[in-house]
Amino acid sequence: MSNGAANFYTSDRVDSQKVTFKNQYQMNVAGNLFTPRGLDRSARTPAIIVGHPMGAVKEQSANLYATKMAEQGFVAMSIDLPFWGESEGQARNLVSPDVYAEAFSAGVDFLGTQPFVNRDRIGAIGVCGSGSFVISAAKIDPRMRAIATVSMYDMGAANRNALNHSQTVEQRKQIIAQAAEQRYAEFAGGAIQLTGGTVHELTADTHPIQREFYDFYRTPRGEFTPAGATRMTTTHPTLTSNVKFMNFYPFNDIETISPRPMLFITGDQAHSREFSEDAYRRAAEPKELHYVAGAGHVDLYDRVNLIPFDKLTAFFNRHLA
């Protein structure tokens, strides 16, 4: 819990309530709606949707960001991606980039029909994997007027190539073949197999990046097990569906989001900074790449002494005013 970690932060300046709404697939998407205490509901206030890291739930990082933005006067809503947390979808932990992106547009549907929200002033924040999902959504949903990503992972590139392009095409094909074979087993009634995710114990050989995730997901700092899940299933997608990320190219056509503004925030020590830098190179103006000095990838999930909330507030004040 050191170094400013405050994943479960709450505020006496903010009211919150659980909400649900349908996506286009008629699945219930669950969210937590945060409003400034004393909000004038006769006025129309700008709003922001916040998506959680891949494999996480809204109680991990997304609630914190939504609470902090509500403190700044925005209506803010964290959401559980379908197949995760309190949102619907079977099998649990299934990967579907299209359905993930649709959840953000469904969130706009919900917020934009609230009488106290200005539907022409809705923005979005995507943390980690949700950064790539919100970009995918924004390319075809111009109602998202300003987009910010934090510690973004391009979940397509991360699965095709691994970090720093360390995975070969042959290794990729082996993963795909394994997943395809597992489909036979599950079609015949076999148990669903999970993959990836965060390790459950540390050893002398545990990779530094896994240690970074472990410190958030497997300790009181950020550990949260939603109903219907277990500690052994949180963060782990299904093997057979995870290969769908191989076909996910969220940065293709990212320049078409312009002239809507984009802000990419990454730690200058983050193992994931390559993805924010790639997105920034491809995006058209207006755009900004902001480095947080001394911050790693997971630091920006919950370390409030490092997360540049002032930067986010200024960005959304400027572009959702």
Q: Is residue 228 part of a domain?
A: no
pLDDT of amino acid 3 = 84
Q: Which residues contact 9 (CB under 8 A, 6 or more apart)?
A: 63, 64, 67, 68, 304
Q: Is residue 207 part of a domain?
A: no
CA–CA distances in Å: residue 220 to residues 2, 182, 214, 217: 11, 34, 11, 8
DSSP letters for 220-277: TTT----TT--TTTTT--BHHHHGGGGG--TTTTGGGGTTS-EEEEEETT-TTHHHHH
**pLDDT tens sequence across 130-183:** 999 999 999 999 999 999 999 999 999 999 999 999 999 999 999 999 999 999
For residue 317, count other CB atoms closer than 10 A to its CB: 14
Q: Which two tokens stand for residue 238?
A: 């299904």
Q: How far apart are the first and last CA of the chain?
A: 36
- CATH classification of the domain holding 93: 3.40.50.1820
Across the chain, what does the average pLDDT equal? 97
Query: Could you report the average pLDDT of every consecutive run of 10 residues in the chain (321 residues)?
Result: 88 98 98 97 98 98 98 98 98 98 98 98 98 98 98 98 95 98 98 97 97 96 95 97 98 98 98 98 98 98 98 98 84
Q: How far apart are CA 105 and CA 162, in angstroms?
A: 28
pLDDT of amino acid 154 = 98
Q: Which two tokens stand for residue 245?
A: 């990320």
pLDDT of amino acid 115 = 98
DSSP letters for 118-162: EEEEEEEEEETTHHHHHHHHHTT-TTEEEEEEES---HHHHHHH-
Q: Which residues contact 3 (CB under 8 A, 6 or more apart)?
A: 299, 303, 305, 306
Q: Is residue 178 part of a domain?
A: no
Q: How far apart are CA 89 and CA 86, in angstroms?
A: 9
**Rounded to the nearest 10 degrees, how much is the dihedral formed by the CA atoms of 205, 211, 215, 217?**
-100
For residue 297, count other CB atoms closer than 10 A to its CB: 24
Q: Is residue 253 part of a domain?
A: yes
pLDDT of amino acid 321 = 84
Closest to 257 (Cα-Cα) out of 129, 122, 75, 134: 134
pLDDT of amino acid 222 = 97
Q: Is residue 209 part of a domain?
A: no
Q: Which residues contact 229 (CB under 8 A, 6 or more apart)?
A: 92
For residue 125, the enclosing domain spans 14-167+245-319
Q: How many domains are contained in the chain?
A: 1
Q: Is residue 23 part of a domain?
A: yes
Q: Is residue 205 part of a domain?
A: no
Q: How far apart are CA 138 and CA 113, in angstroms?
A: 18
- 3-state DSSP assignment of residue 64: helix
Q: Is residue 198 part of a domain?
A: no
CB burial class (10 A; 0-12, 13-18, 19+) of residue 46?
A: buried
pLDDT of amino acid 1 = 54
298: DSSP letter:
T
